[in-house]
A = this chain, B = another copy of it.
Amino acid sequence: MVQGIVNWNTQTTQKWLQNYVDDWVNFYQKNTGEGEVASYIPILQEANQQHLGISILGIDGMEIRSGNVEIPFTIQSISKVFIFIVACIQRGVSYVLSKVDVEPTGGAFNSIMHLETRQVKKPFNPLVNAGAITVTSMLNGSTSEQKLEGFYQLLEKILGYRPPLNIDVYESENETSVRNRAIGYYLLEMGYLESELDLTLETYFKQCSIEITIDDLAKLGMILANDGVDPRTQEEIIPRQVARLAKALMLTCGMYDASGKFAAYVGIPAKSGVSGGIVAVVPPRARNNPLPFLDGCGIGVYGPALDKQGNSIAGIRLLRHIANQWDLSIF
């Protein structure tokens, strides 16, 4: 445990924490040999399995970055959190939740059977594909550009720039992700979709193909940690209720069918994507012992080698280690 720290925002402290994180990243890079880079979208296979990087951004402004921090990667399923947020802003929370439930599935992210056997006739939650596609269909606009505009504006406010669309990944997704088309047609038949299916899937694939870095993820997470308010400007970028809801969803459903284990062993709201990114959100904590990031922080992790559930192997181990060392769990 960290002890005797008086003022975190000094250079000394930051350097001291930085040393720890550097050690841990080095240590967990050994796990990058395990698992496999996602192959269901061919272009994702080109990622370098050895990469591992982390970026931590405190609400109080402290930054720690380590490992391969500059690698851009596509946001993939992490976008589901923010598309849900945008839909809540555009359509209202209660409307969105009338169309999508917020229950964990107990199954894989791309399951159709769970829809078919479900008694409540709406997708389980916005963080599995069926729910995310349904949420995408609710976005305002009649072209994918219009539909994505809200997401881009949110990203721009938080990141300070509009991250680019990786056209190759988008086209690769568009061509190969037939399971999502299967899900989409199922949703269409059930009457869940609010836009034309092709438009919805085009938008969905595009939002998954936006290219970001772990610094971007750390910023996104930090805003959520601070309940939607940018601590630098005090601007409310995401309504507090929506930010809270998003964090609850991340905790119960964010890490595919390992969400329960991540909640139990790490205890931080997080969302992963098949490109190997994870955004984690540490809300402000009240602990008796002085620990880093008491005011909360956002964390971005990148490690493209995945476990069977589709989460970054080294990323999860690194987050678990840091959460335990620094007592970041919300429980």
Q: Which A residues have a C-beta under 8 Å from some C-beta of B? A: 101-107, 111-114, 116-117, 124-125, 178-179, 181-186, 188-189, 197, 244-245, 247-249, 251-253, 257-261, 263-264, 267, 269, 283-287, 294-296, 329-331
Contacts of A295 in B (CB 8 A): 286
Given contacts A188-B178, A252-B251, contact A103 B106 (CB under 8 A): yes
CB contacts (< 8 Å) of A257 on chain B: these are 103
A331/B117 in contact, CB under 8 A: no
A117: chain B residues within 8 A (beta carbon): 113, 117
Whether B263 lies near A248 (C-beta < 8 A) is yes
Copies in the complex: 4
Contact of B182 with A247 in the complex, beta carbons under 8 Å: no
- CB atoms of B286 and A294 under 8 A apart: yes
Q: Report the minimum CB–CB distance from A318 to chain B (whole Å).
A: 19
A286 proximity list for chain B (CB < 8 A): 284-286, 294-296
> Is the beta-carbon distance between A253 and B260 smaller than 8 angstroms?
yes
User: Which residue on B lies nearest to A250, using beta carbons?
Assistant: B331
Which chain B positions have C-beta within 8 A of A111?
116
Interchain CB contact under 8 A, A263 and B285: no
* A244–B247 alpha-carbon span in the complex (Å): 18
Tell me whether B189 and A178 are in contact (CB under 8 A).
yes
